[in-house]
Amino acid sequence: MKNTHRLIISALTGAVVLGAMSTGAYAADNEKCAGIAKAGKNDCATSANSCAGLVKVDGNKEAWVYVPKGTCEKIVGGTVVKK
């Protein structure tokens, strides 16, 4: 039973580490673009809400989504959010 428990813990730890690594790579290849998110599709909180996905109107100037680098400025209404 101990070996099974260790195997499960190792698998979960590996999944968490891989998830954290992939998130960093994802953010490095993308940029935050405000003003283009559809209602309920924003990636992070704004001054009016506390969580992703809670923006109630399309094109909220504070709500941002990740887009591939260099794309945001090509989208009408898009503004790159400085980190």
Q: Which residues of the chain have a pLDDT value below 50?
A: 17, 20-22
Tens of pLDDT, residue by residue over 37-55, are: 999 888 888 888 888 888 8
Q: List beta partners, residue 46.
A: 49
Has this prediction a pTM greater than 0.85? no
pLDDT score at 52: 85
Query: Scanning the structure block, which residue is given the tokens 């980190």?
Result: 83
pLDDT at 20: 45
What residue ranges do the domains of the chain occupy?
2-80
* Three-state secondary structure of the chain: CHHHHHHHHHHHHHHHHHHHHHHHHHHHCEEEEECCCCCCCCCCCECCECCCCCCCCCCCCCCEEEEECCCHHHCCCCEECCC
